[in-house]
Structure 1
């Protein structure tokens, strides 16, 4: 439940912007590329023809970009050795994507992928170095990012360079403080930017603990203020969202929208874009029969948010069941099955994107904002099952389109005007 705390007769118009402003012209729709043959182990014996086939299938859905991942141990097997052959593979894939009409975002330090961690041996066993805090380990990662940027920046289809995939998955084996995380991200982002060209993005990503995890060292502030775009990965299994509310629930279908609005609240720049960079329909959390409707609702609801950069689905191809030891959900996340046939969710996603391109949504300012008052130790109130999350969803069900507003900014009239907020409400327990 909610209670009003502030209202005006008419919403303020943000400086420099009209409420009827056209939709973001660069709204993007893509997919995280998982090679059909061999998963990411395909990098051990990269086959351009296999990649070309996968990319043609992706482009055939009307998607405009992919996000790609090489493996850190193959790129940098020694702290002072970056393999030219591995960097060349990555450049070749970017070129193949261009042939298919696809732009590319490259993640640099992998890191963590689909429940597996990939550490170079120079970070392990008796060589162990904390990848977040050891100065030489951090500098090695910075050099890898400089090298990748230098090798790829002249490709006109390069969107940019991301530090790595959900690097906060590595904190269990690499204890780190919030201050150390901030220094790590600042150092690596600066390194990535050294070789990039104007307009290319330098970003980072984190899984949902950064937003919902009490005292997690990766913070919402870091996600929303460092790098050129805020990336969110609103997975329906985080905090048991789908099991808690149901796979076809209102809460599940509006989760990406909520994550986008939550991310906007933590940004210091009201115009900072948000990228829904990973979302998907993992079985059994989302049964296959519900997946097409989930995909359609997720994209449409997210597209109604101002400042959305785009949506990138996870993932392109199912993991082949000949590969062992993945969690069950990892085998069914693709738009295509493991032999390359499009699944019903692929058709639903392609149709929804085609509709949005033919008739774009024009997102309006969210004139009502629900105030979020939490500390690093109580961040979980904003996650599924939390009191704030439930209050936001309650408002949304009533037909409101609530923004998220940090309590510390609730009295800042200039900030409220910049976001188009005319009315604030407080959650009530």
Structure 2
């Protein structure tokens, strides 16, 4: 009963899992070899372009670097060390199926600022060389992140088969994810077999969620800005439009680190290749695409366009942040006098669902703000190539899939109350539109 067998396989099971693993890896290759300082940045539409990409992929050994893998491993270990030694409060997550609540250290923001101080020290003492090395060895670092994330996923998958504790006979302390107990090794490796893989107090899923990848994204953006300044003598306004909101977004994520404890990634999903690769490889490599493009192709916008993109981005961020803050405040204390103007319905399960304020406008208004914020960062690159808009297109697919999962989960949980809620809040993303 504690670990029921998986009855529904997401992503169309094994074929879908293999498609996602190979497809996302292929995207890393295609986007790098089609968009770089040597080849420009255009979608591969000709046979010659694809021949170049396939030839580069076949010569993969040229992009495997023991030096880069060593540096990446040191980066992960450095942040793991800070996970243990940086001061901060400890919070408990939601109650699990076995009645336990895991503890998590809320020291991600302090770890980031301490790490950023180290970067500043290195810049002052050594100069730009370390950051230029990062910019120049971007793809070797991406390949290293892929290797590391895959090995990590393999480790946690094998680790999930460890024997139950002899101190608690009859109790399986290895809590498996609902979706990761299918018995098929390929699917379970991909989706994540164990819900919260841990060694002692070190939680792999929580650590990887916001630290190595998110902070690595900031480091890559910083390195690309330094690269542009070194080559062209200045940092373009387009670079600032791209990286300042992204860095602010990363810091905001760490400021509200405790809110991740209630997300589906932590509460529902297992930790397998999907999250390991997504956290460590996909996020820093693909989300830094705008800065990497601008490092070798500076774009200089007019004052009016710069102001428009900045205001559009700020407004989008406010929709995302204010809506999430309202929801989090209501979850924490629905009886707070500051929230007395909000209307809600009470479900049979006892949960309260907001039907006014931000959440009366649309059921996933935060997704709308999040997507528009990403679109603004893509707009910073101009309109010379559609490749820099991949972030926006991918993020839209991601949010639509997450919306589908949220809707299914809520429909199963609240049943007829969810139908009533949808009648009161009929729009998904944009009020009066959709």
Same fold (TM over 0.5): no
Which of 1 and 2 has higher RCO (CA within 8 Å, sep 6+)? 1
More helix by share: 2
Under TM normalisation by the shorter chain, which class is it?
Answer: under 0.3
The structure with the larger Rg is 2
TM normalised by structure 2 equals 0.24
More strand by share: 1
